[in-house]
Amino acid sequence: MKIYPVFIPHAGCPHRCLFCAQDRTTGQPSIPEAGEVEVWLEASLPLRGVGEIAFYGGTFTQLPLVQQNRYLAMAGRFSAAGRVAGIRISTRPDALDDDCIARLLAAGVTTVEIGCQSFNPTVLNSSGRGHTADDGVSAIRRCRHAGLQVGVQLMPGLPGGDAAEALLSLRRALELRPGFVRIYPTVVIDGTALAELWKAGGFSPWTLDEAVEVCADMLHLCRLDDVPVIRIGLQADAQLEANLLAGPYHPAFGQLVRSRLWRRALLSAGSHGRSISINPDDLSDALGHRAENRDWLAKHGAAVCLTTDKTIARGLLRISGQDFNLDALPPQGGQYG
């Protein structure tokens, strides 16, 4: 689905979480007026479309009601004209009571992304989130019951969290059957409380390889549960990179994670034969970023010969005439603790 993002960094947020610096990661330091957004959308939207206008950053449902209504009325006019199919907002778990959800539905909101980040009480408290794990569970259930599409945002690697916590939080989210998931491994941004904690030696972010391993496990579990992961890692941005101090950031982080699943699958499939055929569109992820999978497999004595065949469905590996599903192969090296 095509998304037309409107960033409102920090707007409506009742807390400044330990890790948060949206004004330094989105390239947009200020909150746009509804009129400014309307001009941009008028120029950007097709005459007929099936995308969504999305309000990201901040806590949309804790903006002053006048401001919420201005944004939603403006977006609603484009939706009524058929130029988009709906409206998406992002918010906190504790800012979605029944009255709020009813108001969103009446305004034409179709999708709600909920920044749960974790379902572990210690991690939430250590990160200064100001809401509980139960708030996340309740918010997801209420939104789904109301007929809204629900997305869940998770942040593995927060203070007090580890790989096991990340996987348990994901499993809790998957039990609630969200429509999709976003995964943002924790990085240290200048100007945040987390940056000060890191400088004082009180926080050690994951290495890039650690984050890729855990996020590959998370992606694998989502695929097994048929829940789409629509984003892994922060969007590459010059302002973000200028303010990044530490942590597992990579401009192609999503590909690194997808490629790690392919590496595991190829390692497992290698025991069935050295010649493997895949769909051409999977070749880039299978080879890995800068062909690192090919080199890694060769170094570990598991070199395979990859060929492409467009008759093979995406996500399948054909070995000696038999097809294997990428997600069904044993996750060699995974951390399912």
Per-residue DSSP letter, 58: S
pLDDT for residue 336: 45
Q: Which token pair is 208?
A: 């890039």
Under the banding of pLDDT at 50, 70 and 90, the label for residue 337 is very low
**CA dist., res. 89 & res. 72, Å (int):** 10
Strand 316-319 versus strand 322-325 pairing type: antiparallel
List C-alpha distances in Å: 311 to 108, 273, 276.
Answer: 41, 20, 14
pLDDT for residue 25: 55
**CA dist., res. 332 & res. 218, Å (int):** 14
Strand 180-183 versus strand 229-232 pairing type: parallel
pLDDT at position 234 over 50: yes
Under the banding of pLDDT at 50, 70 and 90, the label for residue 302 is confident
pLDDT cut 90: percent of the chain above it: 77
Coil, strand, or helix at residue 78?
Answer: helix
pLDDT, tens only, 215-227:
999 999 999 999 9
Q: Using an 8 Å Cβ cutoff, are 185 and 247 in contact? A: yes
Question: What's the whole-number mean pLDDT along residues 10-15?
Answer: 70
Q: Which token pair is 252?
A: 């192609």
Domains of the chain, earliest start first: 3-251 (3.20.20.70), 262-325 (no CATH)
Contacts of 201 (CB under 8 A, 6+ apart): none
